[in-house]
């Protein structure tokens, strides 16, 4: 029987996006210093509405931006970012992909029209590079690696050209920071990527972190995205939960109803071994799920919440409550796990076996252990089942 609660490595495609391909992709924000105060105010307002998951409000804001400034690509670009966040909140759902791609093509077309007349137009260069970059991110999410890499190769010189025209803009360091960090780290994490790096400049991990931190602390429009990347890279690659939590707190303080930021906060607490705090965070997430708050009304969100609440109950020796929540996690997982069993499902079945055995329900425990052996191997799950069945004389 395992003494330490096992953490599920969720099948979150964010990690693969941020991992395998993000070093190709430069996310940029527009330097809007040359525009009017009204323009600047609308963009700032709309960006905050997107991160607050107030998509309808953001759409109103950016449609007004398009109406007031029809010659500027910002309105079209940020309307596309609304769809990007809708996709990001439920990556398994591909229904918005075609709409998102079309909106990005509209941005690229408008930028090309501007650049034909003004080849040094910084705004058009930045938004064209950003649109190509986001197209690459979604292609990476859909595992279209070659097309994603091609987008990165196309975006990089565009953003470099814009930077050479306006090197004082802090927001541009987001893109270079992402590139420097992931170009250094990812080839070591995923050797299959190394051959592709022959076509790209080498990275510098420490420089990338410095550039991202500068943007996160001093950027005008890109600071939230920089904080997001720092949170995830410190969690996924640097094993620095203190720094990951620092940026998670900055994001959740300003955007308390963003399910992505809140879920990351819960995962960070789990990784730190603070299941009490994690349970509190995931209870907040479940409460928002119950009232159908946008982004929270998702089976995968609820599944993650009940799993970690169950984990906390098990850690504080409340097996009956843990059993109930693991059963709920199992139930949800059997609906949402389409391609293969998730870590959530496998671990839930394992702990249902362990908890039933603790509560004296040996026959039920045996059933779960045997079922565990019919599932794919996950983190030693088969060994746990075999050892417990042998101990119970059921091998």
* Model confidence, pTM: 0.86
Q: pLDDT value at position 115? A: 97
Hey, do 13-266 and 274-391 end up sharing a CATH topology, with the first three levels equal?
yes
Q: pLDDT value at position 326? A: 98
* Three-class DSSP category at 91: coil
Q: pLDDT value at position 183? A: 78
- In CATH, what is the architecture of 13-266? Alpha Horseshoe (1.25)
DSSP code at position 197? G
Rounded to an integer, what distance in angstroms lies between the CA atom of residue 329 and that of residue 170? 44
Query: If we measure between CA atoms, which residue out of 111, 140, 118 comes closest to residue 25?
Result: 140
Domain residue ranges of the chain, discontinuous segments joined by +: 13-266, 274-391
Secondary structure of 16-38 in HEC code, one letter for each residue? HHHHHHHHHCCCCCCCCCCCCHH
Q: pLDDT value at position 22? A: 44
Q: pLDDT value at position 394? A: 75
* pLDDT tens track, the chain, 395 positions: 444 566 665 444 444 444 444 444 443 334 444 457 789 899 999 999 999 999 999 999 999 999 999 999 999 999 999 999 999 898 888 999 999 999 999 999 999 999 999 999 998 998 998 899 889 889 878 878 778 778 877 887 888 898 899 888 888 788 788 878 877 887 777 676 677 666 677 788 999 999 999 999 998 878 998 999 999 999 999 999 999 999 999 999 999 999 999 999 999 999 999 999 999 999 999 999 999 999 999 999 999 999 999 999 999 999 999 999 999 999 999 999 988 999 999 999 999 999 999 999 999 999 999 999 999 999 999 999 999 999 988 76
In this structure, how many other beta carbons lie within 10 angstroms of the beta carbon of residue 340? 11
Q: Which fold has domain 274-391?
A: 1.25.40
Q: pLDDT value at position 19? A: 43
Structure tokens at 85: 């966040």
Rounded to an integer, what distance in angstroms lies between the CA atom of residue 292 and that of residue 41? 30
Only one residue has tokens 């990007």, namely 84
HSE-up (13 A, CA, CB side) for residue 297: 7
């Amino acid at each position: 029987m395992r003494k330490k609660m096992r953490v599920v490595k969720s099948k979150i495609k964010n990690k693969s996006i941020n991992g395998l391909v993000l070093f190709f992709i430069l996310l940029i924000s527009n330097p809007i210093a040359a525009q009017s105060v009204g323009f600047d105010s609308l963009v700032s307002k709309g960006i905050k509405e997107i991160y607050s998951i107030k998509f309808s409000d953001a759409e109103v804001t950016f449609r007004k931006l398009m109406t007031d400034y029809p010659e500027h690509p910002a309105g079209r670009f940020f309307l596309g970012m609304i769809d990007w966040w809708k996709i990001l909140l439920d990556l398994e759902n591909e229904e918005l992909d075609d709409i998102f791609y079309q909106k990005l093509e509209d941005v690229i077309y408008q930028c090309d029209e501007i650049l034909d007349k003004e080849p040094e137009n910084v705004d058009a260069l930045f938004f064209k590079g950003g649109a190509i970059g986001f197209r690459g991110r979604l292609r990476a999410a859909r595992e279209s690696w070659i097309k994603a890499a091609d987008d990165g190769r196309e975006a990089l010189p565009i953003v470099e050209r814009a930077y050479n025209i306006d090197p004082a803009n802090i927001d541009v360091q987001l893109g270079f920071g992402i590139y420097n960090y992931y170009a250094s780290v990812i080839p070591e994490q995923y050797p299959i990527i190394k051959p592709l790096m022959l076509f790209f400049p080498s990275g510098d991990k420490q420089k990338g972190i410095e550039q991202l931190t500068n943007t996160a602390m001093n950027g005008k429009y890109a600071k939230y995205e920089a904080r997001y990347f720092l949170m995830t890279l410190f969690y996924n690659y640097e094993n620095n939960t203190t720094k990951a939590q620092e940026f998670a707190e900055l994001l959740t303080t300003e955007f308390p109803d963003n399910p992505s930021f809140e879920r990351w906060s819960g995962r960070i607490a789990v990784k730190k071994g603070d299941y009490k705090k994690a349970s509190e965070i995931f209870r907040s997430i479940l409460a928002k799920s119950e009232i159908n708050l946008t982004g929270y009304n998702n089976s995968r969100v609820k599944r993650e919440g009940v799993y970690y609440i169950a984990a906390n109950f098990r850690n504080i020796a409340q097996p009956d409550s843990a059993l109930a929540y693991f059963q709920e996690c199992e139930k949800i997982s059997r609906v949402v796990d389409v391609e293969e069993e998730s870590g959530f499902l496998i671990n839930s079945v394992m702990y249902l076996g362990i908890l039933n055995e603790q509560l004296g329900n040996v026959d039920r425990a045996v059933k779960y252990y045997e079922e565990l052996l019919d599932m794919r191997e996950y983190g030693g799950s088969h060994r746990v089942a075999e050892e417990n069945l042998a101990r119970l004389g059921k091998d």
